[in-house]
Structure 1
Amino acid sequence: MVAYQFTNSAEPGAAPAAGTPAGAPTTQPFGDQYKTASYGIGYDLGKNIKQSKINLDPKLIAQGMEEGFSGAESKVSPEQFQAAMTNIQKEMFVNMEADQKVAGQEYLAENGKKPGVVTTASGLQIETVKEGTGAKPSASSTVKVHYTGTLTDGTKFDSSVDRGQPAEFEVGGVIAGWTEALQTMKVGGKSRLVIPSSLAYKEVGAPPRIPPNATLVFDVERLEITKPGAPSPQPAR
């Protein structure tokens, strides 16, 4: 069964217009509110399917809806329907992986051209917003930070700032991009990190907030080192 949320709006899915009282009468383009709602549901469904890039047949969707309304027996069994949907979801996941990988590569390529952005050997990109002072942590240090994480399209997926509570953790106990970046930052420093998926959650992602192969953007402020660790090993000369 599909649940549908009805909204008091002139356009399907839109918020009520400013200054329009809730429940105010509006023109019904199809003669009455039920016909208008019927069209709106169909329009939203079609629009969502198109945006999802699933290769579904609109004529068969309409046929299925008509036969479902009439009470006719379904031409597919629940098992057949479930198997088809499972395969489609797998296909969507593969396509999402590919789309995210390409989008991440393009974002990294453009971001790397910006003044002040340093791309390390691992592919991590660091833009220093504010220089800190004092010591840098090692991988075994425990630090306290504020951060906001977004996808490359600007979608926010996590923020200690919004929670009003800094995060505290061991530098070596987080994703590789963070472990590398934090060891370059002094207390009080602020940086913008662009972390390729290979240094983040790779092809697995962190559902539902982080898709597979997602490049991540973090605005990070190093607040303090709450527990010093062993010095990081220095590169051989």
Structure 2
Amino acid sequence: MKPLFTRSLIGLAVAATLWSSASQAAPALTGYSSDHTIPYSLFDETEAAKPWVKAPAPKKKPLRPATTHNVEQTKKLQALEHSLNEQQRINKELLAGHQVEKQALQQQLQALETDKATVETQRQQLESLQQQLAEHQNQQSGSQEQLSELRTQLAAHQLLVDTHALQQSSLAGKLKEKEEIVLALSKQMEEVRAETQALKAQKQPDTQQLAELKQHQDRIAELQITLLDAEKQQAAMREQLTKQQALQQSAAPESHEQKLSYANGVAFASNIVQSLRAQQNLGVEPDRPMVLAGIKDAFSQRVALNSDEVAKLVTELDVTLNEKLQMQQQSQATEREKQQKAGKALIEKTKQRKGVKTLEGAYYVVSKAGKGEKLTAESSVDILLTGRLSDGTVFDNSGKENKVQRVKLDSLLPALTKVLSQLKKGSEVEVILPADKAFGDAGVDKIIPPGATLIFDIKINS
């Protein structure tokens, strides 16, 4: 638009100049001619007294060039006017085209404004969803802790249930044995009585038959006594089995004494579960049913192995566990030395980085300074966090996976809390924690090696 308009102005200026030249050429018809001679009509008679001034001899005037010049200028002017009109027509067409383009651009601008509003709405919805996701993840984290605790309690309870089941199974087996003995004794008594009746039915029993009858009667008396004892034992076992079944069906204690006993059993079972897990971590997988059987037999004072054999086997287990524990400790010491060496090299390299800051032994580099509110240890914020070791091994990939975590700063490692408390919302920071500011020489089982230096890439949402 601007170059075309400029050319139009230049065209108008040229036309005006030519028009002005044509207008100024007209006086040549009455003033000086094109050959620059003075017309004789300009002199009066007084000039005859001046000999140094002579009137020019009259001569025939040719067609004046001024007239021819005007015609040419007129043609040029007409050509320029035609060109100007053509240029104005083109300008109008271009102007109309620009108007159409302007309207189209205005429509696009309005569409962009609408899209911008839509994007803003979607952004707000996304922030809301991210916050909900963070809350859900926090709830899930709490639920995981509760689930872990419940699993421990369940394992302890399952141990008690298995013990009760084994006891119940043992009682049921003993009861069945007693019932079989009672049944056999009853059968024997019936046989003896039948034989006695047969002997009595004989009209003339001899001495031998009387002796046999006496023996049968004595046998009946013994069987009756044995049967009575078996029935008493059977009744006692049934009562014990009934109590065991009632205890298994209604596990909730009622009285204070029952609650104390129940709590004692749960604590005992929890210790057993933790001991079994420690053995599993060392590579020893106990046979749970046999462990429960040993507990049951020890409680009932009916151990299947003699004391010397038990002591020998327990000593063998202790030796195996201690050997595996020593191997694990040696492996941890090697890993600790490796991590400490890598961590020291990383710290030295970090000290040379531009913009690095230190705070009570922790190092951090702010890659983006936030403009939100200042954080405190009590602040709850949404963060994207990625954690890695000094060798690059990632132990928390939630940040790279864009999983927002809702955290309270004082729930983090103390060194992280102090660093993040120096920043504002919207900041992005890399925090390097030496082992003594993280998890020390112990590490975290199967997650953080002992003596590891940790690196956290943290983005604090606005």
**TM-score above 0.5:** yes
- Specify the alignment match of 1:115 in structure 2: 354
Shift of 1:123: 1.5
Tell me, yes or no, if the aligned pair for 2:342 and 2:391 is still in contact at 8 Å.
no
| Residue 453 (structure 2) pairs with residue 215 (structure 1) | yes
How far apart, CA to CA, are the structure 2 residues paired with 1:182 and 1:170?
11
Q: Summarize the Cα distance change of 1:78–1:202 in structure 2 as closer, same or farther, 3 Å threshold.
A: closer
Structure 2 unaligned regions, length at least 5: 1-315
Shift of 1:195: 1.0
- Specify the alignment match of 2:281 in structure 1: none
How far apart, CA to CA, are the structure 1 residues paired with 2:384 and 2:320?
46
Residue 390 of structure 2: which of 133, 142, 152 is its match? 152
Shift of 1:79: 7.2
Shift of 1:161: 2.4
How far apart, CA to CA, are the structure 2 residues paired with 1:87 and 1:220?
38
Q: Summarize the Cα distance change of 1:162–1:127 in structure 2 as closer, same or farther, 3 Å threshold.
A: closer
Secondary structure class of the residue paired with 1:100: helix
Q: State the Cα deviation string for residues 54-89 of structure 1 (Å, max 9, x = none).
A: xxxxxxxxxxxxxxxxxxxxxxx8876654333111
Tell me, yes or no, if the aligned pair for 1:112 and 1:119 is still in contact at 8 Å.
no
- Specify the alignment match of 2:324 in structure 1: 85
Question: What TM-score do you get using the length of structure 2 for normalisation?
Answer: 0.30
- Specify the alignment match of 2:414 in structure 1: 176
Larger relative strand fraction: 1
Residue 363 of structure 2: which of 121, 125, 142 is its match? 125
Tell me, yes or no, if the aligned pair for 1:125 and 1:194 is still in contact at 8 Å.
yes
Aligned-residue identity in percent: 27
Task: Report the RMSD for the aligned CA atoms in angstroms.
Answer: 2.0
How far apart, CA to CA, are the structure 2 residues paired with 1:203 and 1:83?
21
| Residue 338 (structure 2) pairs with residue 99 (structure 1) | yes
- Specify the alignment match of 1:16 in structure 2: none
Shift of 1:103: 2.1
Tell me, yes or no, if the aligned pair for 2:438 and 2:454 is still in contact at 8 Å.
yes
Q: State the Cα deviation string for residues 182-213 of structure 1 (Å, max 9, x = none).
A: 11221111011111112211222122121112
Larger relative helix fraction: 2
Secondary structure class of the residue paired with 2:330: helix
How far apart, CA to CA, are the structure 2 residues paired with 1:103 and 1:174?
24
Tell me, yes or no, if the aligned pair for 1:172 and 1:179 is still in contact at 8 Å.
yes
- Specify the alignment match of 2:431 in structure 1: 193
Q: Summarize the Cα distance change of 1:134–1:202 in structure 2 as closer, same or farther, 3 Å threshold.
A: same
| Residue 431 (structure 2) pairs with residue 167 (structure 1) | no
